[in-house]
Amino acid sequence: MGLFILRRLGVMILTAICLTFIVFFLTNLHPNLEKLAKTQGEMRMSDEQVDRWLANRGYDQPLPIKYGEWLGVWPSKIIEVDDGRAYGRCLQTGVSIADTPRFCGVIQGDWGFSTVFKDEVSSIVATRLSLTGKLMFWVMMLMIPSALLIGVLAGMREGSRTDRSLSTVSIITTATPEYVSGVIFIALFAASASPLNQWLASMDWIEGRTLFKGTATSAMENANFNNFFLPVLTISLYGMGYIARMTRASMAEVMTAQYIRTARLKGVSFPKIVVKHALRNALIAPFTVIMLQIPWLLNGVVIVETLFNYKGFGWVLVQAAGNNDIELLLGVSVVSVIVVLITQLISDIGYVYLNPRISVS
């Protein structure tokens, strides 16, 4: 088992290196660098000014060297410009050029500097990731119990009316992407023009003008039901249907198993069978699905954070990509790769533990 995890870790690092190199390559294509120079320098710079701007900051070096600098395996170049300013990724204010360390890449723990946000990549990613973590926590709190409940209720009596209606509900939720459900929710619950809100306001049942808030910006500091429920609901719904369907299938399978039938013949009451015997076994399969769902939810996070103006990880991703903020984009990619691969690893290990028929080799 230890060897298995070690090997997986090796693959993980290799994947991260390949992936960041691809991102590095794409973001360092000349048109992208030009865009970077213009957004950072001045919008209407001439071509010579752009070239000088790039050369001053070392962007004109060969790609492998720049990548090596970022990784921390190649000494970072310090460029001194005529007017006394110096550029280089290792430079720090208050430290003279002579005392500046030669290597300062990811290996040395330096994730670089964001050109858009003018801040350390590591601190940006940490803040934003924690905000997204908060969002995801509530998404999980809402999504998993309701998905399992729907799945178990539906799979308990396969083919019944409950099953059919619950299955339809879960299919509908998987067919509704976040940008559709989010838009509908805002229109219904968060626009003062919506008939529902006007009615509620006229009955004096809500304090403000709307039932929920259409923006989650204030939820970053102070999340409450009002400003956080809609984004959480939007993400949860899309993921919920899939987990519910898996649970239903697994539950339905368990319910036809021999030991359940035996228990029923023995006269154990139906609710007791479901809770005591079926549930535990039926929940093994959804576990892996839930783990694999996490990286997939990232998509939803990006859409919902954009839609509701919640400045988390997904928002940073869009900002970094839109502005060609190279080092931030690399940081974002590394984090998302790690999330994807770790969830895969956990789901693999979990699957092995839960299912004795498969062994790790």
Q: How far is the CB of 105 from another protein (least distance, A)?
A: 21
Closer residue to another protein in complex, CB, 61/299: 299
Closer residue to another protein in complex, CB, 277/347: 347
Q: How far is the CB of 273 from another protein (least distance, A)?
A: 25
Closer residue to another protein in complex, CB, 23/254: 23
CA 245, 176, 346: angle at the middle one, nearest 5?
A: 50
**Angle between helical axes of 326-354 and 121-156 (0-180°, round to 10):** 30
Q: How far is the CB of 246 from another protein (least distance, A)?
A: 13
Please report, as a single letter, which amino acid is at residue 156.
M
Q: What is the dihedral of CA 282, 283, 289, 295, to 10 degrees?
A: 170
Q: How far apart are CA 111 and CA 130, in angstroms?
A: 17
Q: How far apart are CA 296 and CA 331, in angstroms?
A: 19
Whose structure tokens read 């502005």? 323
Q: How far is the CB of 351 from another protein (least distance, A)?
A: 14
Coil vs helix vs strand at 69:
helix
Q: What are phi and psi of 105, to 5 degrees?
A: -115, -160
Contact 88, 112 (CB under 8 A): no
Closer residue to another protein in complex, CB, 145/208: 208
Closer residue to another protein in complex, CB, 265/359: 359
3-state helix, strand, coil in the chain (%, to 5): 70, 0, 25
Whose structure tokens read 């005392």? 99
Q: How far apart are CA 206 and CA 183, in angstroms?
A: 21
Long-range contacts of 212-215 (CB under 8 A, 24+ apart): 212/185, 214/186, 214/190, 214/308, 215/308, 215/309
